[in-house]
Structure 1
Amino acid sequence: MIHIYYAYIHEKSHKELIEKHLFRFPEIYQQKIHRYRRWQDAQLSLLGRLLLVHGMNKLNKNFDDYQLEYTDYNKPFFVDSNLKFNISHSGNIVVCAITEGFEVGIDLELINEIKIESFKSQMTAYEWKRVNESENKTNAFYEYWTKKEAVVKAHGEGLSIPLKKIEIINGKTVVKDSSFITKEVFLDKKYKSYLAILAKKTMDINFRDSKKVTIKKVHFESILVL
C-alpha cells in the first residue's frame, strides 16, 4: 500500500505552526527553518516533515526524527525500519508519500508557462518528439519532467543521474539495472505530480490498482493539533 498525504500552506497560521511544532525537531533542523527568508519556504519544509509525522501516526508508527539518517546522496531514511518515504513541494502544496518495504519517489510541480526549449538537453529524443507532437506541449513536458524527477528520487542517487539518461516509455524505465514504474497523482488542476516506485514482479499489478494508492488531503487544522 502507498499512502499519499498533501496540504496547502497558509500564511495566517505560520506563526502558530512554528511555535507549536518546530521545537520538537533537532536543533540543526530548527536552524535550517529559521534561515529561510520567506515564510513560504520555511513552511513548505516544516509542513513536509509534519505530513510525514501525520502519515506515520495514521499507520500507528512512532516518528523519531533522531532515527533519520542520510545516504551519501542526501536521501533521508529511517534506521532499522522498512518504512520508506519521499516529500516534494511546489507552489503552495506539499506532498508526502509513505510506503513499507520498497523505495518510493514523488515529484510535484506547479504548471507554469515556460520556455520548453530550454529543457531539451534533459529529454531523450523519444520524449522530446512526444512533447512536440502533443496538442498541449506544456502539459506533456511537465508530465515527463515529474515522472523523471520521481524516478530519480526513488532511485536515491539524485542529480548524479542525468535526466537525459532516464527514458520513460509507457510509464516504465530502467536506471542502472533497476526498474521503475510511474503513476500519476492528481492533487490540483494547476499542478502535475507523479509517483515512482522500484518495481518488483509481485507489486507491478498492485501499483496499477488504484485501491493500492490512497491520496488524502490534510487540512491545516489537523496539522496544528498533531
Structure 2
Amino acid sequence: MIILYSFIDESRHKFLMDRYLNAFSEDFKEDILKYRRWQDAQLSLLGRVLLLHGLSAHFGINEADIGKLPNNKPFLKGHPIHFNISHSKNLVACVIADFPIGIDIEFSDETINYLDFKFQMTGGEFEEIHQSEDKISSFFSYWTKKEAVLKAEGSGMMISLDSFEILNNECVIEGKKFFTKEFFIDKRYNCCIASTDINIKNVVPFLEVFKI
C-alpha cells in the first residue's frame, strides 16, 4: 500500500494545467474546467495525477482505465488494485492498495464548534470528544475515521455518520467489519485510512510526497 500526497500551489497552477490536463479524457477535462476556483481545479487534477503516478511507479500500470460503479465510486478497470482520493484545504492525498481502501484527510480548523456536529455522532463518540483535553483534535480524529470508513464501504451519503460507532479503531456496518488507522502527513491535518482488511491495523503506509 502506498499513500501519495501533494500541496497545491497557485504559482504553479498554469504549468500544471498545461502539463497534465490534456493527458485525461474529455469528460475529466470538462469537469476540471468547470471549477471557478483554481484551488478546486488543482486539487481534483492533482488527485488524478497522484493516482496515475502511483500506479505507474509502484504497480507497473502505465495505462489506467478508470470507470465508475453504480454508486459513482471510481475503480480501476482490468486490475485487482483499489484506490481512493481525498482532499481538504491545500492538501490532496491518494491511497493505492491491493485490497479495498478508503482515505480521508481533514484540515484541523480551530474555528469549528464540534457541538454543531453532535447530531452526527453516537452518544459514546460525543462523550469521548467532550471529555478530551483537546476537543478539536479529538473531533477531527473522529470525523476522518468515520469518513474513511464510508469511503471504504462505498455507499457514501446513503449511510449516516451516527448509524455506526468506531471503538478501538473498529466498527460494523450491516454485518461487515471495518478497521481504521490514522497516519501523519502534516500537523495541520488529520488523516485516516479504512478497510475491511484487518491487516490495515498493522501496516505501515509508505508515504510519498509528489513535488509539483
Which TM bucket (shorter chain)? Answer: over 0.9
**Matched position secondary structure for 1:152:** helix
More displaced, 133-142 or 55-64?
55-64
Find 2:100's aligned residue among 96, 100, 103.
Answer: 103
How well do the aligned residues superpose, as a CA RMSD in angstroms?
1.1
Matches of 2:146 and 2:47, distance apart in 1 = 21
Residue equivalent to 2:143? 145
Does residue 1:196 correspond to 2:187, yes or no?
A: no
What 5-or-longer segments of structure 1 have no aligned partner?
A: 221-226
After superposition, residues 73-112 of structure 1 pair within 5 angstroms as 73-100=71-98, 102-112=99-109
Whether the 8 Å contact between 2:103 and 2:151 is mirrored in structure 1 is yes
Deviation at 1:218, TM superposition (A): 1.6
Counterpart check, 1:19 vs 2:18: yes
2:179 and 2:201 in contact (8 A); partners too? no
Other structure's SS at 1:114 match = coil
Partner of 1:218: 210
d(CA) in 2 for partners of 1:69, 1:198:
22
- Residue 118, structure 1, aligned to residue 110, structure 2: no
Secondary structure of 1:130's counterpart equals: helix
Q: What is the identity, as a one-letter code, of the residue corresponding to 1:19?
A: D
The alignment status of 1:29 with 2:28, answered yes or no, reads yes
Cα separation, 2, equivalents of 1:9 and 1:147? 24
CA distance in 2 between counterparts of 1:109 and 1:63 reads: 30
Q: CA deviation at 1:115?
A: 1.5
User: Aligned partners of 1:210 and 1:104: how far apart in 2?
Assistant: 13
Normalised by the length of structure 2, the TM-score is 0.96
**How much does 1:72 deviate?**
1.9
Please list the CA deviations of residues 128-181 of structure 1 after superposition, one character each: whole Å capped at 9, or x if unmatched: 010001001111110000000000000000010111112100000011111111
Residue identity opposite 2:44 in structure 1: S
TM, length-normalised to structure 1: 0.90
How far is 1:209 from its partner? 2.9
> Which residue of 133, 136, 142 maps to 1:135?
133
Q: Secondary structure at the match of 1:18?
A: helix
- Given residue 87 of structure 2, which amino acid in structure 1 is its aligned partner? H
Q: Using the alignment, how far apart are the partners of 2:55 and 2:175 within structure 1?
A: 31
Match of 1:179 in 2: 177
Q: Which secondary structure state, in structure 2, belongs to the residue aligned with residue 42 of structure 1?
A: helix
SS in 2 for 1:51: helix
1:51 corresponds in structure 2 to 50
The CA distance in 1 between the partners of 2:85 and 2:120, in whole Å, is 22
Report the equivalent of 2:61.
61
Query: Which range is displaced more, 6-15 or 147-156?
Result: 6-15
**Kindly, what percent of the aligned residue pairs are identical?**
42
Q: Is 2:202 the counterpart of 1:209?
A: yes
Q: Aligned letter for 1:62? A: N
- Equivalents in 1 of 2:194, 2:9: separation in Å? 28
C-alpha distance in 2, partners of 1:207/1:37?
37
SS at match of 1:61: coil
The Cα shift of 1:107 comes to 0.3
Matched residue type, 2:123: A
| Separation in structure 1 between the aligned mates of residue 162 and residue 53 of structure 2, nearest angstrom | 35
